[in-house]
Amino acid sequence: MRVLDGVRVLDFGRFIAAPWCSALLADMGADVIRVEKRDGGEDRWVQAVTETGEGATFLQCNRNKRSLTLDTTTDEGRAVTRRLVTGADIVVANMPAAGMRANGLDYESLRAVKPDIILASATAYGEGGPYSDRIGFDGAGQVMSGATYRQGLPDQPIRTVVPYADFGTALTLTIGVMMALYHRDRTGVGQHVEGALLPTALMLSNAFLIERDLLSADKPRMANQGTSVAPCDLYRTRDGGWVLLQVAGQPMFKRWCRLIGRPELYDDPRFADDDLRWRHGDELNDIMSRWCAEKTKAEVLGLLESAKLPAAPMHSTQEVLDDAHINEMGYLQRVAFPGAAHHVPIIETPFRLSETPGEIRRRAPLLGEHSDEVLREAGYSDADIDGLRARLVI
């Protein structure tokens, strides 16, 4: 038995924040129905990797789901939505409040149909403030949280290519949904769970804001160097590889000094603690750069591991796919998909439960692949479904 067996989710999400939330619920056993436009949601076709145009992120974020196409802007489409809601436990969506109301997905409309429904919504900025009606993607959270201001090169801020605000919002939204389910099981009362990109990004960059507020100063952008410790950087090795090292705390710094043959650095007052080492980080990082430049990547990693220092190789994307540990642990599950060159490496549920683990039971759905099936379950006859299709509702 899976944790969420018997729980039904209607997923009106697009791109990452809402779809990854519902994917995690699906991994744990929920029946997730992805409801998208008749010609497909925009996120289905971004970064295409299959013959029919499905995108890489779509394949990740929509495994274990069934697909229903539906024009929710029509009266008939909204009627179908209401009928589906009567049999659902959770509705997941990410769109501005005006769009939610227009599609009959706002909390008041949903609660009128099913009083104990749980609505999980994700927006860019959160509801109730002057930015609430604005739209925005992951980058908006990054650049407005102070994080991008602090990262990059001295004269060039650099946004992170990985959409961490989106995926982070999906994770916080999932936590909120599980709390709401727990609350409903105890009280019978549903609720509205809200997540947003900006507060997620603020959570992740909060330490920078605390520093600024209490010290009235910002540390400079330092590329790959540490924000508060040293030596810390990506170091190039003799054979052209790159290795990350992050040294924090006195015991670790002492082991590093011994490893590189510079024990006197440990007693140097300039390097007496993490903050002082960061302030004089250029010298420590230069020493480490020269030490790494004389050795191969394998040699550097072996020596750092033997000294119990936290180091890791910088992987190319192919090296990630080939990594022995990643393959041994099964972090990437190979899933067949029509039109893909071969089985697709999809990240497993990003947490493991010893008794009720999540699993990828089915690939992401083709567009409208389960429309008839879902509508029959909702009580529509084959003639009803044919009529909806003829009138371009599905």
- Catalogue the E-assigned strands of 115-165: 118-123, 152-153, 156-157
Active-site residues: which are they?
166
Query: How big is the chain, counted in residues?
Result: 394
Burial 42-76 (b: 16+ CB within 10 A, else e): ebbeeeebbeeebbebbbbbbbbbbbbbbbbeeeb
- Please give the DSSP secondary-structure letter assigned to residue 270: G
- Let me know if 90 is exposed, middle or buried by CB neighbors in 10 A (0-12, 13-18, 19+): buried
Grouping H, G, I as helix, E, B as strand and the rest as coil, residue 157 is: strand
Burial 275-296 (b: 16+ CB within 10 A, else e): eebbeebeebbebbeebbeebe
CA distances from 241 to 273, 294, 303, 360 (A): 30, 12, 15, 34
Token couple for 206: 């909060």
> Please, which residues bridge with residue 90 across strands?
9, 118
Number of neighbouring beta carbons within 10 Å of residue 186? 8
End-to-end CA, the chain:
33
DSSP string, 20-33: HHHHHHHHTT-EEE
